[in-house]
Amino acid sequence: MSIENPFYSPEAQGPYEMHSIGRFDLEEGGVIPDLRLAVATRGKLNADKSNAILIPTWFSGTHQTWDQIYIGEGHALDPEKYFIIVVNQIGNGLSTSPHNTHDPSITMSKFPKVRISDDVRAQEQLLREVFDIEKLALVVGGSMGAQQTWEWAVRFPDKVLRAAPLAGTAQNTPHDFLFTQTLLDAITSDPGFAGGDYATHLQVQAGLARHADIWAVMGLSTEFWKSGFWKDIPMLNGETTDDFTTFQAGFIRALFQLMDPNALLAMGWKWQRGDVARNTGGDLAEALGRITAKTLVMPIDHDMFFPVADCAADQQLTPGSELRVLPSIAGHLGLFGFEPTYVEQVDRNLAELLAAPI
């Protein structure tokens, strides 16, 4: 029933544990009969359970980038001090996803629609039932992880003491919706996609390539490409190149072509509809007004689809929040931490936020 894909394995992604939270009813009406969340924990929960940090993942991402870039000694997210729980989002290829479920009722094209709010509810249940955690010292996430962070802060204000949405909005914009749609259509228009019932992601390589090519435009920036910044970034084969189309093929295409098309589609549908105002009948100001967490909103200066202006608009509606623009020539994909200056600034902001009394 499920499809083997080595990209979604502990060998490729680093260690994680699977936790089942049982039958999960989704807001759109579907059901995941046995929702399994892939969870990576780092550090130890302290006695009064005051040092828990939750990190939800972004589109196409897993816990791995957080492990490699943001978590560790010397970083604000230090496992010596904090119990850090990275929860892979539903449908990301590690948690229950179209290609990895053994349940015939939700496999592949039958996978139900999942919302940001479903992820957040599932995470809240996981933390409560599995880890016995009722308060979070911090929720921090980038991109779709920021969408989940916003949703956490609005939906569970009593549980979120601090929040740090990086490069993501509380309410998705029409522009971002249309952008995401081009990403999804690039996949579904590939005849090999076969309506979602392909035998292997290798049949959808052309669609995944076009998907990646759009990322190379909207995910980065003209400065990234023009400056030649990419010449120092190793491609997936470990080599560097002086030719920008070779870099695009060897890095961005090569990466997305490892992934499962239905996983990307499940996440993309969710991304398009991230909206905390669903908690308040469409009133964004009222929704953001519910936030009690101390919040640092951190857009990236060159981001083309979660641009500073859109993130700043959310921040201005959020009590007790502050805007901290992060510098990255890599635009939205600056989240991958290509630049030490970017990572340092994130660390400084998060350290300050974690040190702030509540």
> Is residue 307 near a second copy by the rule CB under 8 A?
yes
Segment interacting with a second copy (CB under 8 A) among 95-103, 152-160, 167-175, 318-326: 167-175
Residue 316, φ and ψ in degrees, nearest 5: -65, -20
> Is residue 220 near a second copy by the rule CB under 8 A?
yes
Query: Of the listed 176, 303, 310, 314, which one is catalytic?
Result: 303
Give CA–CA dist 163/327, Å, rounded.
20
**Cβ of 282: how many Cβ atoms within 10 Å?**
11
Segment interacting with a second copy (CB under 8 A) among 35-43, 66-74, 82-90, 186-194: 186-194
Task: Give the nearer residue to a second copy in terms of CB position, either 116 or 311.
Answer: 311
Distances (CA, A) of 127 to 80, 175, 274: 20, 34, 22
Segment interacting with a second copy (CB under 8 A) among 25-33, 155-163, 182-190, 193-201: 182-190
Task: Give the nearer residue to a second copy in terms of CB position, either 223 or 347.
Answer: 223
Task: Give the nearer residue to a second copy in terms of CB position, either 23 or 231.
Answer: 231
Residue 311 CB, nearest distance to a second copy (Å)?
11
CA angle 92, 87, 328 (to 5 degrees): 80
Residue 273 CB, nearest distance to a second copy (Å)?
13
Query: Of the listed 99, 201, 302, 332, which one is catalytic?
Result: 332
Give CA–CA dist 130/134, Å, rounded.
11
Q: For the chain, how far is it from start to end, CA to CA, in angstroms?
A: 49
Query: Could you tell me which residues come within 8 angstroms of residue 292 by beta carbon, excluding any fewer than 6 positions away?
Result: 157, 158, 160, 319, 320
Phi-psi region of 235 (alpha: psi -120 to 50; beta: other; left: phi over 0): beta
> Is residue 226 near a second copy by the rule CB under 8 A?
yes
Give the interface with a second copy as residue ranges (CB under 8 A): 173-179, 181-182, 185-186, 189-191, 206, 210, 213-214, 216-218, 220-226, 244-245, 248, 304-305, 307, 309-310
Q: Which residues are the active-site residues?
A: 143, 303, 332
